[in-house]
A and B are shown apart, each in its own frame.
Chain A
Amino acid sequence: MIDLEATRSGAFAAGGNASVRDFVALLKPRVMSLVVFTAFVGIAVAPGGMHPVLAATALLCIAVGAGASGALNMWYDADIDARMGRTRLRPIPRGAVTPGEALAFGLVLSVFSVLTLGLLVSWAASALLAFTIFFYAVVYTMWLKRSTPQNIVIGGASGAFPPMIGWAAVTGTVSIESIVLFLIIFFWTPPHFWALALYKSADYRRAGVPMLPVVAGDAATRRQIFAYSLILVPLGMAPAAVGLGGPLYLAVSGVLGALFLGLAWQVRRGEGDAAARRLFAFSILYLFLLFALLLVEPAIGIAPFASLAGGLS
């Protein structure tokens, strides 16, 4: 895949010319920050607690694993990235890193992060991390992204796994609480990304990515955004039902959910790009605040409600 490139433009293009910063950019640092945050919440709210160094090790491995899948994504999607304004300055389209370098980088980091997490912390968490990388790099990037407008719905699962990995790093298992955290991010992803896709649809159309607004049109996308928001908002309040959230969480997540639905309804009514931009911006704040609340509430001494799941968990 890289041979043509290498021979055409001489020795430098054969690789070896990337700076450290270029390799760091392959890790998608901004996506990584959300992954680290949600994984940290998964670790912090899990029962039992763990040694801080082990918690930090787990976070590091999850972060590096997420970065590795970002690098694999940029390796495979370099052709798409070169045609979209938002991504055309990524290291490979810019010519700083060769596709082969990005592939090797992503594979090495994947193997090291999965093995380190397993050896030092938990094989259950390690298995989940390996599955997450596989899901993002293979199921989403190689398969779904180019073939179906439901790409981000299912691909969103890979973004939803980090809190579940964090939880598994502490408890060694998957349980109802971590499934709820997973579902929140899972159902948050479609309205979040489709809001972006609504006002960036020209980009995706040019790149040939079958995003929902490109394939099904704006009106269908707006309906879907609202439909997913209707599922998301109750899920956003669900931590209060499984023993993770208390009265403060329930109240604030209810208010934030109402705001989310209000913005989604404006998008649904088709109030132009401005509504979609507002929803996109608010969706990030919404997710951040929900997870931050799970941290803050116990820290200020508010006990969570008893879990309705009872013996199930």
Chain B
Amino acid sequence: MAQDEEKSSGEGLDAEAYNRRRRGRSLAIAFVLAGLAVLFYVVTVIKLGPGVMNRPL
């Protein structure tokens, strides 16, 4: 891709900023995954209702 004049915003940044961004991304992924788990749980309860535990094995 043509980005000749563009410089990576990473250049010149110290390790601290790099680590801070990585930590931010990790936290965001953690929240999204936790949210997804909660979502599937809640929708399961809604769709199956009180009968959620009352199923044949």
Contact = CB atoms under 8 A, between A and B. Distances in A.
Interface of A: 1, 5, 9-13, 16-20, 23, 51, 53-54, 57, 60, 78-79, 82-83, 92-96, 99, 112, 116, 119-120
Interface of B: 1-3, 6-11, 13, 18, 21-22, 24-25, 27-28, 36, 39-40, 42-43, 46
A12 B8 contact: yes
B48 to A, nearest CB: 12
Contacts of A5: 1, 3
A16 B22 contact: yes
B45 to A, nearest CB: 9
A16 B24 CA distance: 11
A120 B6 CA distance: 43
Nearest to B17: A17
A20 B1 contact: no
B11 A9 contact: yes
Contacts of A16: 18, 22
Nearest to A53: B46
B2 A57 contact: no
Contact of B9 (A54, A57, A94, A99): A94
A83 B6 CA distance: 11
B29 to A, nearest CB: 9
Contacts of B28: 20, 23
Contacts of A79: 1-3
A11 B40 CA distance: 38
B1 A19 contact: no
B6 A82 contact: yes
Contacts of A82: 1-3, 6
